[in-house]
Structure 1
């Protein structure tokens, strides 16, 4: 069981995301025209750090080193008329191995490296990453969206 609830009012949950930067590029996967981070819901009883390592394993088939907690995010948004309210933990992650061409968790989304100096040209989700990644100073930043 994970920390995710679907009600008549929307979807609510606690999530993790892996910020994977290698050679000046951010790892994302493509869903339609959007670029998303590897991540997902935290399971009940699981730490956020363990959850991000599990999600990397499920989505990329790789082990990783979970490093710094970069962002704690309160993310409220409308998706196709449905309210989403997510609490998110975004960690810096180093991969142990080479990424597959697409995600492996039942949704074969194409993996794509986005050059950090070109990030503004992409529809990165969550959108705060476009401005906040470049400003990250090694401390945990609280982001409130919505």
Structure 2
């Protein structure tokens, strides 16, 4: 796949990464970080920073997430990239964080989208349901 800019030096849309790394090995952290960086490089996104949440919390306002929201207020920020929705936290916290990212006017890009346990079947075929405002960008393991 050729880059859209045909190898010209241009800045792509600015994104910030978010990882939730509670009790994760250094090797796993390095692999996830490299995965986000490689995806951004190959899709001409400018990964301008990475926020890492290392605490188990029942509050969506962790220090890392608050910092992420602060940079989303900067001009020309396109969005947030994460390996999967689970990196935003447990389901209730992840849903709230997703709403806050959208409220900041940013897109949430997921390398691996939500898993479907039992897709509904209709006469026209399976119905795939996704959360609004979330963009699935790649089928890859995180």
Answer whether TM exceeds 0.5 for this pair: no
Structure with the greater alpha carbon radius of gyration: 2
Q: Which of structures 1 and 2 has the larger relative contact order (alpha carbons within 8 angstroms, sep 6+)?
A: 1
Q: Which has the higher helix share?
A: 2
Q: Which has the higher strand share?
A: 1
Relative to the length of structure 1, the TM-score reads 0.25
Relative to the length of structure 2, the TM-score reads 0.26
